[in-house]
């Protein structure tokens, strides 16, 4: 298949074509030519309003439900949503039934997503059944194609277990994730422990619960060596802890949820369970610190933290509702409004290195792994914009800047309309 993309502004700081308007000729899944103008009426052409192109985006923390919770989302539809949202590679979380804690679990997810253009990278559970007791089959899962090892949103309460996991995974260059939450301090909290939660009578999750766990994990990493990723930090103190650890030379990376870059705990006023998130929405001080941590490179990148929840477990009393929000469809528009286009692209591709995903540039001879978007349109995110199987979207009603057209990946063009 040949495709000629016309008059696109290329957004790639690692390319000599950065911020220049160019035509791209794609042949057999590779960028064969980039020029100010390419004329060939015999080739299929793509022209889109204010088209911008960047290297394909990567999200390491996406939940689809399948297997076990197909009523929330299937892998097939979830991958379509990812493509329409600009993501060419996604890491699929372990909050399924059964939990992927063996090589057969990893094989199942890869097989289900094998016919799609978006690359599927299954996450393997760190412990058997994600119960935090015994290590799962880490090496076998790695050999089968597991992206990393993580008990989704479950903290590792046993410090010796984390120590052993890091030591073992270090032998085959495996990446361990540890969710930063000290359960004894968080207890049954449902929102950030601060003025707003107190005023509303909601049980609090203190910033201390994240920072104490993170500090412990970093000390263990310093002792063991290996690679550690901290998913979705949410406090100013966590940014400082990660920064200091990186200055020591530790192989630690971290991500931040788009929710914590855009919103604060002030939105809890109406007790809307769409805003019941983990990690919880924090203060404006924390939000600004996270943005600074992202801009300085302390935080490697952003995740949509996409997590579909069925109606029965979301539209209920705040205390009883499940944590989580879908986020793929709104991720770019919300982030672009806060960070600007260049920083947004950087943040949506920045986690590739931490997870060992090959990076591509917008240059001739490179694999065509592309995200297509218009960064300048202003709009309000609403329910009609949701393509996911669930509708628990925290961003409904929020102003967006920029829309995604789709992706070119896996030798296929997937457009949202």
Measure the CA–CA gap between 210 and 346, rounded to whole angstroms.
26
d(CA 125, CA 138): 8
* Residues 6 or more apart whose Cβ sits within 8 Å of residue 229: 148, 175, 176, 177, 178, 252, 253, 254, 255, 354, 355
SS3 content of the chain, % helix, strand, coil (to 5): 35, 25, 45
Is 172 in contact with 148 (CB distance < 8 Å)?
no
Q: In terms of residues, how long is the chain?
A: 417
Strands (E), 11-152: 21-27, 30-35, 45-46, 52-55, 57-62, 87-92, 119-122
What is the sign, positive or negative, of the torsion defined by CA atoms of 175, 179, 183, 188?
negative
Residue 373: in which H helix or E strand, if any? strand 370-380
The label of the residue with tokens 């992202």 reads 294
Q: Which of 23, 217, 265, 305 is catalytic?
A: 305
Is 170 in contact with 227 (CB distance < 8 Å)?
A: yes
**Could you confirm whether 101 is annotated as catalytic?**
no
Cα 109 from Cα 171, distance rounded (Å): 25
DSSP line for 265-323? GGGGGG--GGG--SSPP--HHHHHHHHHHHHTTSS-EEE--B----HHHHSS-TTTSPP
* Catalytic residue positions, numbered: 305
């Amino acid at each position: 298949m040949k495709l000629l993309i016309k008059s696109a502004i290329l957004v790639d700081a690692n390319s000599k074509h950065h911020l220049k308007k160019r035509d791209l000729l794609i042949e057999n899944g590779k960028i064969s030519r980039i020029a100010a103008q390419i004329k060939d009426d015999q080739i299929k052409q793509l022209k889109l309003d204010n088209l911008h192109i960047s290297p394909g985006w990567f999200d390491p923390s996406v939940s689809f439900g399948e297997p076990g919770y197909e009523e929330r989302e299937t892998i097939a539809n979830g991958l379509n949503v990812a493509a329409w949202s600009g993501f060419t590679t996604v890491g699929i979380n372990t909050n399924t039934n059964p939990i992927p804690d063996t090589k057969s679990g990893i094989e199942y997810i890869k097989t289900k997503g094998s016919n799609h253009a978006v690359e599927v990278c299954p996450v393997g559970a760190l412990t058997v059944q994600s119960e935090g007791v015994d290590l799962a089959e880490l090496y076998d899962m790695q050999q089968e194609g597991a992206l990393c090892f993580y008990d989704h949103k479950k903290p590792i309460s046993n410090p010796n277990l984390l120590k052993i996991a890091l030591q073992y995974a270090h032998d085959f260059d495996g990446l361990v994730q540890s969710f930063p939450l000290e359960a004894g301090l968080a207890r049954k909290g449902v929102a950030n422990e601060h003025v707003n939660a107190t005023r509303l009578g909601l049980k609090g999750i203190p910033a201390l619960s994240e920072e104490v766990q993170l500090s412990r994990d970093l000390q263990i990493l310093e002792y063991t060596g290996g690679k550690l990723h901290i998913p979705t930090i949410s406090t100013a103190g966590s940014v400082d802890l990660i920064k200091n650890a990186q200055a020591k030379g530790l192989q630690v990376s971290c991500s931040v949820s788009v929710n914590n870059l855009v919103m604060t705990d002030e939105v809890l006023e109406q007790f809307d369970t769409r805003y019941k998130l983990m990690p919880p929405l924090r203060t404006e001080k924390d939000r600004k610190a996270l943005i600074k941590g992202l801009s300085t490179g302390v935080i490697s990148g952003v995740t949509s933290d996409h997590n579909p929840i069925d109606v029965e477990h979301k539209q209920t009393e705040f205390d009883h509702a499940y944590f989580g929000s879908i986020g793929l469809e709104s991720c770019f528009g919300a982030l672009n409004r806060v960070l600007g286009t260049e920083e947004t692209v950087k943040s949506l591709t920045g986690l590739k290195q931490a997870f060992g995903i090959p990076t591509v540039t917008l240059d001739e001879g490179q694999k065509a792994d592309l995200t297509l978007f218009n960064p300048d349109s202003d709009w309000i995110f609403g329910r009609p914009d949701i393509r996911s199987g669930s509708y628990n979207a925290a961003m409904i009603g929020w102003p967006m800047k920029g829309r995604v057209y789709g992706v070119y990946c896996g030798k296929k063009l997937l457009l949202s309309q």
